[in-house]
Chain A
């Protein structure tokens, strides 16, 4: 297909989609209006189950099964990346060379690392109370570990990051979510039902299964991000060669 024909097809498709959007948007409820039937009911259900952060209540209680699906997409993506970025038969590895790090960056990294780690764990643990939860906190925890790579060097990161353990952590996080769902069945209710006592509103132990599911997701997300970044770092720093390889400037 020539470039001209391609642009024509694209323009037709974009214009038709734009027309559909405009028709749909004109019929939608007005922006900022007071009519939110699902939102109002979700807030009511969340308060009844004593979960102060309604977003967490929606994700881990009312739509718990849906979040299992989202978590599985994450798990599958990480698995796919690990398979794609493995070392091919015609590639060699080399030991990464440590590079010079400015002293100020080193000091900043070593101060920021424990603080970031603590914030990440706090965000996971308070998912049922304040904005945050397993997804967000997990990313913060994984980021904290990689401050070591920025502030010191790659071998230092490798020392505190036994990759096998994080791969197990990823699987355990996913499995814990599934098993917590089965706990609902065993308690005589539905899969992923909130069967634990709801506790006192706005305390750390409120929300029933919400904090436990948050912890499972936090473990999975933190491990998944570490595994993902490790695969890309190995590609950039350790693997070289290969027959078809024309890049590999790193």
Chain B
């Protein structure tokens, strides 16, 4: 069962991509992209887990304590921040698309309009 957490991360990614490809609404598509991206958090934290390890913060634990990998946690942290702002940027694009084309269905957006 030691690959199970990795498999969960892979499954989340594939589900997100499936939703993205079959989406009928741009807001839904942005949500699916966030789901696909969140697979990286699960994968990173699964890679860094150490059985019996505690949080890698030594303000109230001795520095000899067994801790989980802080490198992947730092990667996940910046990933969350960047993901949130990129989602905001994409939603801003959706707002403008809805205004200019009057639709948020990607299948109805056939051509570029000025």
Contact = CB atoms under 8 A, between A and B. Distances in A.
Contact of A6 (B21, B55, B80, B85): B21
Interface in B62-99: 63, 67-74, 77-78, 80-82, 85-86, 88-89, 91-93, 95-96, 98-99
Interface stretch (A36-44, A105-113, A175-183): A36-44
A29 B47 CA distance: 8
A129 interface: yes
Contacts of A77: 82, 85-86, 88-89
B3 A131 contact: no
B58 A10 contact: no
A202 B77 CA distance: 22
Contacts of B81: 70, 74, 135, 221
A25 B98 CA distance: 41
B78 A59 contact: yes
Looking at chain A's contact residues, the main secondary structure is helix
B22 A10 contact: yes
A130 B58 CA distance: 8
A5 interface: no
A160 interface: no
Interface of B is mostly: helix
A31 B58 contact: no
Nearest to B93: A84
Contacts of B86: 73, 77
Interface stretch (A92-100, A114-122, A186-194, A239-247): A239-247
A14 interface: yes
Interface in B29-68: 46-51, 55-59, 63, 67-68
Nearest to B14: A14
Contacts of A74: 81-82, 85
A18 interface: yes
Contact of B102 (A14, A202, A246): A246
B7 interface: yes
B51 A42 contact: no
Kindly list the 8 A-B residue pairs having the minimum CB-CB distance in the complex, ordered from nearest. Answer: A39-B69, A32-B51, A21-B10, A77-B85, A58-B74, A54-B70, A246-B102, A25-B6
16 contacts: A10-B22, A28-B6, A29-B47, A30-B2, A33-B51, A34-B51, A55-B57, A57-B70, A74-B81, A74-B82, A78-B88, A135-B77, A135-B80, A224-B85, A244-B101, A245-B102
Given A28-B47, A202-B59, A246-B102, 7 more contacts: A14-B18, A17-B17, A21-B6, A43-B63, A52-B58, A80-B89, A84-B89
